[in-house]
Structure 1
Amino acid sequence: MNTGITSKEAILQVCRGIVASKGLSAVNMRSVADECHIALGTLYNYYSNKDELLLAIVEDIWKAIFHMDHKCPTDFTFPEYVAYIFECIQKGAEDYPDFFTAHSVSIANSEKGKAKSTMKHYFNHMKTGMLEVLQADDRVSGEAFSSAFTEMEFIDFVLDNLLLLLIQGKTSCEVLKETIRRTIY
């Protein structure tokens, strides 16, 4: 009886475990096949090369990070939602050490465009959620935005500062939340 893993979802689950415990650089076709208890050739039936597998892992981990609690964004005020995103990314960084810095380095030059596109997709996902929450937040002043200071420019500013806090290793985004409150309320 074959006890090996035989689905992309199960392979990715094993890969998330490898990334969580050993880092993204530990992923290679042979180690994944061994962990999945399948022949290396079988893994190649699912992923044609290491870069394709890495791209799938990167996308899967981004999905895991941004859908952790499956909370409805409109349950939050805008500053609370920004804090929620901050916490999700922090938790993702704890669950997948070095993922944020390693994933762009781990993929061959020919696949960097796809990796960058995947990351951009998830940043756009965050921005879309932020815009929905901002527009649903009934505390936002009607005079907060103008043609010179648009909602999307504000979201770009907030996301850039949120990521900067994470890169700097900050454990809180309270200053950013207060800046948001003073700007939009």
Structure 2
Amino acid sequence: MRKKDDSLRGTLIDSARAIADTEGIEAVNMRSIAQRAGVATGTVYNYFSSKEDILLALTEEYWKKTLYEMRTAVTADSFCGQLEEIFFFLKERIDSSGSSLMNSLGEVKKAGQERMESMQAVLAETLLRRMEQDPSVRNDIWNGTFTMEQYSRFIVANMVMLLRTEPYEFHFFIEMVRRTLCRTGDEDGTGDCGNNI
């Protein structure tokens, strides 16, 4: 069996993305991808078993790229400020095309959800690192039954839920996080974390 060319796989995904961006997701199929990439349709089948398989790869790549770009897009100093920026960054990405990609998965939706769980784990790890770097986040609240790792997963689970609902109540959520994590001392209860909303 011939070894697959990773650069050709990338070209096929890029072709699928270009078609989805210009003509819509419904225009993505094996033949249109092959034509755009300048290869035979059979070549596309050497890399992807179906249109859904391509859309799954496209969705995964989209969210990996989104999480990568988020690292530089988030610039606030405090964790709560960063959390707010992360939420609205992800909301914009979902509204622009992330939602339509996930909804297009059809028969492989379960696989798409499993891959999204791995992306959520990456996001939880990112939040954990950001909490650790913010000196205004209280350290006295963590113990064996209430860990920073659990809290970062809790934040991600709730953000995902809020991203799926309209209208979302993000301001209530961020206030709850602020009151849990931040040292109090100001009359408004925001303490060292500041009021970023």
Same structural fold, with TM-score higher than 0.5 when normalized by the shorter chain: yes
Cα 1:100–1:74, aligned 2, differ >3 Å: closer, same or farther? same
Sequence identity (%): 24
Question: 1:23·1:99 contact (CA, 8 Å) conserved in 2?
Answer: no
Which of the pair has more CA radius of gyration? 2
Cα 1:129–1:72, aligned 2, differ >3 Å: closer, same or farther? farther
Structure 1 residue 129: Cα displacement: 0.5
* Structure 2 residue ranges without an equivalent (≥5): 1-6, 183-197
RMSD, aligned CA? 2.9
* Structure 1 residue ranges without an equivalent (≥5): 1-5
Q: Report 1 or 2 for greater relative contact order, CA contacts < 8 Å, sequence distance ≥ 6.
A: 1
TM-score (norm 1): 0.77
Question: 2:20·2:28 contact (CA, 8 Å) conserved in 1?
Answer: yes
2:120 to 111, 116, 123: 123
Structure 1 residue 97: Cα displacement: 5.5
Question: 2:87·2:159 contact (CA, 8 Å) conserved in 1?
Answer: yes
Equivalent residue pairs, number: 176
Cα 1:170–1:101, aligned 2, differ >3 Å: closer, same or farther? farther
Question: 2:80·2:178 contact (CA, 8 Å) conserved in 1?
Answer: yes
Moved beyond 6 Å, runs of 4+: 72-75
| 1:105-132 CA distance string (max 9 Å, x none) | 42347xx3x4333111101000110111
Q: Which amino acid aligns with 1:106?
A: G
SS in 1 for 2:69: coil
Aligned to 1:67: 68
Cα 1:53–1:46, aligned 2, differ >3 Å: closer, same or farther? same
Whole-Å separation in 2 of the counterparts to 1:35 and 1:172: 43
TM-score (norm 2): 0.73
